[in-house]
Amino acid sequence: MASAKDILDQIKEKDVKYVDVRFTDVKGKMQHVTFDIDLVDEDFLTDGTMFDGSSIAGWKAINESDMKLRPDLASAHIDPFYQQTTLVLFCDVVNPDTNTPYNRDPRSIAKAALAYVKSAGVGDTVYFGPEAEFFVFDDVQWNTAPP
């Protein structure tokens, strides 16, 4: 398991310019926010960063929109597709006042399901994934006539 110090060392070693924190909304759309490296410190990596949950469809009302992204340090990797060196961290969404998992965060739901499966004694691994037939093709056309 990576520590905040390990991540900060990796940032220096690889001359990282930006940190991109990512999470998935309940509809499966990946959301992200990119931070300049000057804003990333040990507190950012361990405690997380605040964001506006009302901007995510179906999450929070404007009057209760404060939420926190807490990075999963084990998910840290360099994104090879960015022009500038960018470190990616997937995040858990938590309630900022209690630091409890947000009940509409897919990662929190998956972690709760895994904990339930383990506690019930029916398994120790669960697999989650999209139903590809609904996401891979927008349209399919074919022709059986000779060319």
* 68-103 pLDDT per residue, tens: 999 999 999 999 999 999 999 999 999 999 999 999
pLDDT at residue 135, rounded to an integer: 56
pLDDT at residue 134, rounded to an integer: 57
pLDDT at 133 over 70: no
d(CA 81, CA 122): 40
The structure tokens 């999470």 sit at 23
Assign 128 a pLDDT band (cuts: 50, 70, 90): confident
d(CA 21, CA 147): 50
Least confidently predicted of 42-46, 89-93, 133-137, 142-146: 133-137
Relative to beta strand 49-52, strand 30-36 is unpaired
pLDDT at 131 over 80: no
Q: Name the more confident of 128 and 7.
A: 7
Q: Identify any residues that bridge with 69 across adjacent strands, giving them in sequence order.
A: 49, 93
Using alpha carbons, list the distances in angstroms from residue 108 to 9, 45, 50, 69: 28, 18, 17, 12
Element (H, E) at 114: helix 106-120
Q: Where are the beta strands (DSSP E) in the chain?
A: 18-24, 30-36, 49-52, 66-71, 77-78, 86-94
Element (H, E) at 10: helix 4-13
Enumerate domains of the chain plus CATH numbers.
Answer: 4-102 (3.10.20.70)
Assign 141 a pLDDT band (cuts: 50, 70, 90): confident
The structure tokens 């990797």 sit at 77
- Residues of the chain with pLDDT > 70, as a percent, come to 95
The structure tokens 């998992």 sit at 101
3-class secondary-structure state, position 46: helix
